[in-house]
Structure 1
């Protein structure tokens, strides 16, 4: 189960890790874009590969809003739920064996986080909860996160980060300053700042190291293959 209500005693938890998904943990080789494109075709008869719609670091509902605006479309009662069901059906079909990959060091870092009893791994992602489940499940890591904050839960990424840190506080007694956002875009850096959290930026997505450095993350890494710097940061944050 991806998102649970299980908690540890508040005093035992020192750090909550808030992981982005796409470009941070994994790549799906554009499967989400393809799934949305196919759903627009099926539900509205519109052919569009969506290559001009920005996806990186944004929430799924905001991406869909851009698509709808571009084509002058609107949902009537009940149609949006049906649309997302179509998206998820296509996403399930598109995530065939061999499509996409986990990024370097992801398994190792998740193992390291799990080994520390005072640390909790969680998700802070623009994906809807179901899209996150499909992507993480494809790579066998859906069960490795205690909770999540998902794209349908807030109007933008900054508000979503506030949802995540509030959840960390409510469930584990961990304040914002002991939450660490791990992400690959400027949106991850900005939302961490907006929520009062720390942030590790990884240059594994569409933004390069120079671009991310200019946004001033607490820690900048080329990838997660050597997790030592972010583990050291977490120990300092939780001290």
Structure 2
């Protein structure tokens, strides 16, 4: 049975140079009139819906679905300029790894990220790696990352009823990636290219951990035979 790969974006495939954070902070100024950006909200491994929900709560702003959509659309309009401003990059070894995984087909290689669908595709297109992915599951609806994984599972088995969880690899850089993989019984490869160290990731008991993707053949061996 062909293995399915679900890649996180930020900190796993690429660094956007904080473009997403900068665009969201600009949206705070535009939509909410917030000038003091001294907030303490965790973002790593979380969905954009969860982050925006917390931003509104932090600033004592009521959040209706209409206001959420207005803020989200403002963020979408600002993100391309922040990506163009530079400072981001595809992380080492990613291009080579994706090329080898999708050498024959990208049918079973997708994104599973807390990014909104629009902003997630904007990021991977900006860095010219979007062609490696045939599908994605995004943070538009769910606050809980585990629910995102459950959505991915339901969509995958709808298309491939014979699929088993242990034929899915989740690849990500945060403990949340490990946890959401476990929520659906998938295997998980943790990569220490984000804000978490190898030791912190190993403490969450992934199936495998790597420092980065530069030793492409070793990473591929884990994904194919691990």
Normalised-by-shorter TM-score class: over 0.9
Q: CA separation of 1:78/1:108 partners in 2, compared to 1, >3 Å: closer, same or farther? A: same
1:94 and 2:79 are equivalent in the alignment:
no
SS at 1:58 equivalent? coil
SS at 2:86 equivalent? coil
Distance (whole Å) between structure 2 residues aligned to residue 111 and residue 50 of structure 1: 41
Structure 2: tracts of 5 or more residues without a match: none
Structure 1: tracts of 5 or more residues without a match: 1-12
**Residue correspondence of structure 1 range 40-79 to structure 2 within 5 A:** 40-49=28-37, 52-76=40-64, 78-79=66-67
Check whether the contact 2:110–2:133 (CA below 8 A) recurs between aligned residues: yes
Q: By how many angstroms is 1:81 displaced?
A: 1.7
**Residue correspondence of structure 1 range 174-193 to structure 2 within 5 A:** 174-193=163-182
The aligned length equals 225
Q: Aligned to 1:139, which of 120, 127, 140? A: 127
- Moved beyond 6 Å, runs of 4+: none
**1:57-93, Cα deviation, whole Å (9 max, x unpaired):** 1100100111111011023463322211110111111
Distance (whole Å) between structure 1 residues aligned to residue 155 and residue 216 of structure 2: 25
RMSD of aligned Cα (Å): 1.8
Distance (whole Å) between structure 1 residues aligned to residue 64 and residue 44 of structure 2: 28
Paired residue for 1:207?
196
Check whether the contact 1:15–1:179 (CA below 8 A) recurs between aligned residues: yes
SS at 1:18 equivalent? strand
Check whether the contact 2:106–2:133 (CA below 8 A) recurs between aligned residues: no
TM-score (norm 2): 0.93
Check whether the contact 1:219–1:230 (CA below 8 A) recurs between aligned residues: no
Q: By how many angstroms is 1:49 displaced?
A: 3.1
Distance (whole Å) between structure 1 residues aligned to residue 18 and residue 196 of structure 2: 16
